[in-house]
Structure 1
Amino acid sequence: MVRVTDTDWSTDLAGTGGYADVNGINLYYERYGAGRPLVLLHGGLGSGEMFGPVLPLLAATHEVITVDLQGHGRTADVDRPLSLDAMAADVAALIDHLGLGQADLAGYSLGGGVAMHVAANHPAKVGKLVMASAWLRTDSIYPEMRAMQGQVSAAAAEFMVDTPMYQLYQKVAPRPEDFGRLLDKIGDFMRQGIDFTEKVSSLTVPTMVVGADADQVPPTAFMEIFGLLDGGKRDGGWTGEGRPAGGHALAILPGVTHYSIFSSPLFAAVILDFLDR
C-alpha cells in the first residue's frame, strides 16, 4: 500500500487510453512512446498515474503501457477477491489483446507481485522482469508495518480523504463509492500469509530485484530474492563471468522509501539500464 501526501503524479506526456475486456474484467490501460514494449504495474491503492513523473524518461526509448489493476484507478472491481494469480492472468491477456506477443514488465509493490506472477505463470509473454519493493514472505516486512496493514479496511476511508490515492480514485474511478470496498479487499489480501520462495525460484526470465534503502522491508529481504536467482554467491569476475547465469540483477536505490521509489528518476534509470543492457 502507498502512504504519501502532497504528491504530484501528473505528467505532460501525451498518451492514448483504452479498455480491454479480458477474463471478465474491463481492464484500463494507457500507451506512451514507441519501441520495445514495457508494461508498468502500480502499487496497492494506486493506478497507472503513479508513474507520471518517470513516464517521459521511460517512453523516450520504449512503448510504455500503464495498467490499472482490478478495482484500481479506471478499472472497476469485479466479484472476485484480489489475487496475484488472477491479476497476472489479466495482464497476460492484455499482452495478447494488444498483440504485443511479448513485453517487458516492471511492477512496484502489489504490481511487483503481479509482475512476478506473470513471469512465473506466463513466461513466454515476458522478456525481462523488474520486481520493485516486493518481498518473499509475510515475515519479511517490519512488524510495525505488518500491524498497520492488518488494520486496513473500509473503516479507514475517512482517514484517507487528504491522500492522493483517495483523491485520484474519486476523480477517475467508474464507481467512486467503491473506495471502501477496495480497502476491504486490500486489507484481506495483506492479511493473508505469503511465501513466494518456490515461485521466485521458478523464474526463467531475466529479473532485476529493486528496493529502496528505506523500504517496508530491510535491504536484506531484496538480497534474499536475488540469492534465489543465483545472485550474490561469488565474485562477478572481470568480464562478468561470475554473474548470475540468467542475467539477473539487484538494485538498492539510495535516498528513497517505499512511498517515493516509483516516482524517482533513479527508478527509471535502473529499469532502462537493465532492459537495454
Structure 2
Amino acid sequence: MAAVLKIFCALLLLSAAPARAAERWQELPEPAPLPQAAKTGKAPVNGIELYYAIYGSGPPVLLIHGGLGYSEVWGAQVADLSRDHTVIVADSRGHGRSTRNAEPYSYDLMSSDYLALLDYLKIEKTALVGWSDGGIIGLDIAIHHPERLTKLFAQAANSKVDGVIPTVMEDKIFAAYIEKAGEVYNKISPTPTEYDAFVTQISNMWASQPNWSDNDLKKITTPTAIVLGDHDEAISRKHTDYLAKTIPGAKLMILENTSHFAMLQDPEGYNKTVREFIDQ
C-alpha cells in the first residue's frame, strides 16, 4: 500500500505545473520549529511506547496530529499556546517516534492510548485540539469519556467513512503531505524500514472507521468546535455541517483560504481561532 502511495505521489508531483501556487491553501509549508520542551519521554501504554513532549504551564491542552503525521506539525501552535498553557503533544501509535504492535488499529484503541497517556502524566482533564485523525480521536473521547475533556476543537474530522471526499488521493497537496510523512517516518521512527507495514495496518482502519450513529454524536456534552478549512481536500463541507448540526451545541468554524493543512498554512489565524474557543 505504501509503495503504491509513494509511486502515485512521485508521478503526481512530477506532473505539477512549475508555476508558484496562487493561494496559500495550495501550499504545504514546513512546520515551525518546536520550542524547547520542558519534558519528553515515552509512556508505556497498551503494549506500546508512546512518545510525548510537554511545554509551558497553565491549563492543559492536548494537541493530536492526523494520520501518518507527527507531533512536529504543531510547532507554531505549541509556541503560542505554551505561553499560558501546559501543552502536551504526542506521536500516535506507530507514528513518529512511537512504537506499534500487531493489534489492529481502531479509533477506540488510539483514544485509549491518549487517555492512558493522560493518566501517566496525572492530567485529569484537558482541552483537546485534534486535526484529522486527531479530531476523530477527540470525538471518540467526547462520546465515551466526556469527563476527561474541558473543550474539543475538532478540525477536519469525520464521523463516518463517507465524510471523506472520494477524490482526495488525486490532490497534489495531499500527495505532497504523504510523501513528506514517509520521509519523516524514515528519519525518526524506531522501525524506519516498516513504513509499508504501518500504512497497511492503519489503512485497514480507515476503510471502515469511524462509523458513529446520530445517537452517538448526540451523546456529546463536551463544548465542541467543528472546524474545517474552506478548501479542505479530504473532508466535505456537507459532512462538517452535519457534525455541527448533530452534536448538541457545537460551534461551526470555517477557516478561510486554507485546506486540510490549515495549521501550517495560516498558523497565526489558526492559533487565534483555537484560543477564541478553548480560552472563552
TM-score by length of 1: 0.83
Distance 1:198 1:67, change over 3 A: farther
1:195 shift after superposition = 2.7
Amino acid at match of 1:62: H
Residue 169 in structure 1 maps to residue 185 in structure 2: yes
Amino acid at match of 2:123: L
Residue 198 in structure 1 maps to residue 184 in structure 2: no
Name the CA distance, whole Å, in 1 between partners of 2:217 and 2:208.
18
Q: 19, 32, 35: which one pairs with 2:55?
A: 32
Distance 1:199 1:266, change over 3 A: farther
Distance 1:160 1:170, change over 3 A: farther
Structure 1 residues 138-192: Cα deviation after superposition (integer angstroms, max 9, x where no partner): 22222223x769xxxxxxxxx9899321121111111101111111123212221
Name the CA distance, whole Å, in 2 between partners of 1:38 and 1:225.
22
Name the CA distance, whole Å, in 2 between partners of 1:60 and 1:161.
29
Larger RCO, structure (CA 8 Å, separation 6 or more): 2
Structure 1 residues 19-63: Cα deviation after superposition (integer angstroms, max 9, x where no partner): 111221211111111111101110011111111122211212211
Q: How does 1:128-167 map to 2 (within 5 A)?
A: 128-145=151-168, 163-167=179-183
CA RMSD of aligned residues (A): 2.3
Counterpart in the other structure of 1:273: 276
Counterpart in the other structure of 1:226: 244
Distance 1:7 1:218, change over 3 A: same
Gaps of 5+ in 2: 1-8, 10-25
Higher mean C-alpha deviation, range 70-79 or range 114-123? 114-123
Amino acid at match of 2:188: V
Counterpart in the other structure of 1:8: 30
Q: 78, 84, 98: which one pairs with 1:61?
A: 84
Structure 1 residues 122-147: Cα deviation after superposition (integer angstroms, max 9, x where no partner): 211111111110112222222223x7
Residue 214 in structure 1 maps to residue 199 in structure 2: no
Secondary structure of 1:163 counterpart = helix
Residue 261 in structure 1 maps to residue 279 in structure 2: no
Amino acid at match of 1:8: E
Counterpart in the other structure of 1:101: 124
Name the CA distance, whole Å, in 1 between partners of 2:221 and 2:96.
31
1:12 shift after superposition = 4.7
Distance 1:162 1:22, change over 3 A: closer
1:210 shift after superposition = 0.6
Amino acid at match of 1:103: T
1:10 shift after superposition = 4.0
Amino acid at match of 2:31: W
Gaps of 5+ in 1: 150-158, 231-243
1:194 shift after superposition = 3.8
1:266 shift after superposition = 2.1
Secondary structure of 1:177 counterpart = coil
Counterpart in the other structure of 2:141: 118
TM-score by length of 2: 0.82
Counterpart in the other structure of 1:184: 200
Contact 2:28 2:177 in 1 (8 A): no
Name the CA distance, whole Å, in 2 between partners of 1:131 and 1:160.
23
Secondary structure of 1:61 counterpart = coil
Counterpart in the other structure of 1:251: 253
Contact 1:35 1:63 in 2 (8 A): yes
How many residues are treated as equivalent by the alignment? 248
Secondary structure of 2:54 counterpart = strand
